[in-house]
Amino acid sequence: MGASSSGSTTTALMSSRTWPAGSSRTGWSAPPFTSSPPTPTLRSFAKWQPRIRLLHQDWSLYDTAHCVFQPKHMTAEQLEAGYAWIYRRLFSASSIWARGPRQPFAVPAYLAMSLLYKRSNWLWRFLIRHRFTHAVWNPLVQLTRLRHLRYRARLAREEAGSGNQLSPIRPGV
């Protein structure tokens, strides 16, 4: 599931019928979705600009929540409404909880990061304005990093002890 800057897959993305099938069929707990038209910082912007049907050049609206190009198979308003629907569904408290880690010690950092990252947009404006982003976000990132390093070290020990090739990636991915 996803959207391209040409808008060719946005129709499937916005259908509520595709949500359960798309996420369960892939095995992903959170299907990725985004729409990314080129920005003026890309060298190819001048070449792409007529093709991607930009609606405006208000760069403050290039935030993934606003439609900045005219999709092929729907209106800009439909794309924004579909994005908002998926965002609400994907980042609801129940969805965040369902994707949580199985290890109890990892839950607090996961919940803090998930809720801060996707459920606290109002707080981000404050954190950015007062330059507190690093102070709040970095400890959570470091906790998660340490948890992953411990996990990888455990896998390496188990692999060395058993002679089997263990992989943190599930078959079929």
What pLDDT is recorded for position 44?
Answer: 65
Q: What is the pLDDT of residues 33-73, one digit of tens each?
A: 555 555 666 666 676 666 667 788 788 887 777 888 888 88
Burial tier of 44 (Cβ tally within 10 Å: 0-12, 13-18, 19+): exposed
Judge if pTM exceeds 0.85. no
Q: What is the pLDDT of residues 10-41, one digit of tens each?
A: 444 455 555 554 454 444 555 555 555 556 66
Q: What are phi and psi of 7, to 5 degrees?
A: 80, 10
- Mean residue pLDDT across the chain: 74
Residue 135 pLDDT exceeds 90: yes
What pLDDT is recorded for position 70?
Answer: 83
Q: What is the mean pLDDT of residues 112-118?
A: 82
State the distance between the two ends of the chain, measured CA to CA, in whole angstroms: 15
Q: Can you tell me which residue has the tokens 């600009």?
A: 49
Residue 125 pLDDT exceeds 60: yes
What pLDDT is recorded for position 4?
Answer: 36
Half-sphere exposure of 162 (CA within 13 A, CB side): 9
Q: Which of 98, 111, 114, 115 shows the shortest CA–CA distance to 29?
A: 98
- CB 41 within 8 Å of CB 72: no
Q: What residue segments make up the domains of the chain, in order of their start?
A: 1-90, 96-173
CA 62, CA 15: separation in Å to the nearest integer?
Answer: 23
Place 171 in a pLDDT band, splitting at 50, 70 and 90. low
What pLDDT is recorded for position 22?
Answer: 44
What pLDDT is recorded for position 19?
Answer: 53
- CB 73 within 8 Å of CB 88: no
What pLDDT is recorded for position 120?
Answer: 81
| Residue 104 DSSP class | G
What pLDDT is recorded for position 130?
Answer: 92
Q: Residues 12-19: contacts with CB within 8 Å, 24+ apart?
A: 13/82, 13/86, 14/74, 14/78, 14/79, 14/81, 14/82, 14/83, 14/85, 14/86, 16/85, 19/86, 19/89
Least confident of 6-10, 57-61, 130-134, 141-145: 6-10
